[in-house]
Structure 1
Amino acid sequence: MTLMRIGELAAAAGVSNRTVDFYTSLGLLTPASRTTGGFRLYDPAAVEQIATVQHLESSGMALDDIAAQLRGAGATDLTGVLTRLDQDLAALRALAENAGDTAQGLAATLAVRANQLLTTAMELLSTMPPP
């Protein structure tokens, strides 16, 4: 495995050196090693990590939240979250049945956004390597 210097990683990921520095400072990226001169070296898998972070950020997730999840801080009970999501969808259906046209339109817009986020989650999970 050939490790990459920051400039090589930035070029491969299509971002600036400054973005790599920023992501590293937030804990979104972790150098694999350092040279004897102190330069950070990154695993080539960091290119995909950058793409994942950018995809999550463009989907509306805050960088601090992404970093916390990558560090394992604030680990989430996925089963519990999915159960609450099912309950919330049932409640939304019940509310929509009795809502006026304006409220239904707003609820539909929000439901479309929620669906986009779920689709993003499924796409990311399907591309991530197994533990």
Structure 2
Amino acid sequence: MRQLLRIGELAAQAGVSPRTVDYYTQLGLLRPAERTDGGFRMYEPAAVDVIGTIRQLESHGIHLNDMTQALNAETDGDVSRALAELDVDLTALRDAVAAAAPHSHAILELITARAHALITAGIEIINSPLI
């Protein structure tokens, strides 16, 4: 028999409030595995990792509504096209750094670190049981 978590147990393990779990569920970012006869939502243990991913994406400036829209999109995103555009943007950033005045390098370093963090988050999503 699989071990499912009640909302409070999930919240405690994920380090969030039950209200946060409820909100993520309302948005469609979390999906209960089943409901008990009493109507309680039960979640897979993997939902703890999903909450961690949601919070990580939030920390990188991805809005919950954007996550919800992406998950509920009618068509699959064109990841290859987006990666090609990212490659063009990274090339432009390299060129900008080469031409930039030294005092602007700190800002460009922050932008580069943010891009790296988002790429790392993307790789983690690919390797996780996200949503």
TM-score, normalisation: structure 1: 0.81
- Corresponding residue of 2:4: 3
What are structure 2's unaligned runs of at least 5 residues? none
| Aligned residues of 1:10 and 1:17 also touching (Cα < 8 A) | yes
How many residues get paired? 129
Letter in 1 for 2:44: D
* Rounded Cα–Cα distance in structure 2 between residues aligned with 1:52 and 1:46: 10
Q: Is the alpha carbon distance of 1:34 and 1:110 closer, same or farther for their aligned partners in structure 2, counting shifts above 3 Å?
A: same
- Corresponding residue of 2:98: 97
Give the fraction of aligned pairs with identical amino acids, expressed as a percent: 47
1:79 paired with 2:76, answer no
Q: Which deviates more from structure 2 when the two are superposed, residues 28-37 or residues 81-90?
A: 28-37
SS at 1:90 equivalent = helix
Which structure has more relative contact order (CA 8 Å, sep 6+)? It is 2
| Aligned residues of 1:3 and 1:44 also touching (Cα < 8 A) | yes
| Aligned residues of 2:4 and 2:43 also touching (Cα < 8 A) | yes
Deviation of 1:117 (Å): 1.6
Q: Which deviates more from structure 2 when the two are superposed, residues 86-95 or residues 22-31?
A: 86-95
* Rounded Cα–Cα distance in structure 1 between residues aligned with 2:14 and 2:109: 36
- Corresponding residue of 2:115: 114
Deviation of 1:87 (Å): 0.9
* Rounded Cα–Cα distance in structure 1 between residues aligned with 2:72 and 2:48: 18
| Aligned residues of 2:60 and 2:114 also touching (Cα < 8 A) | no
Deviation of 1:40 (Å): 1.5
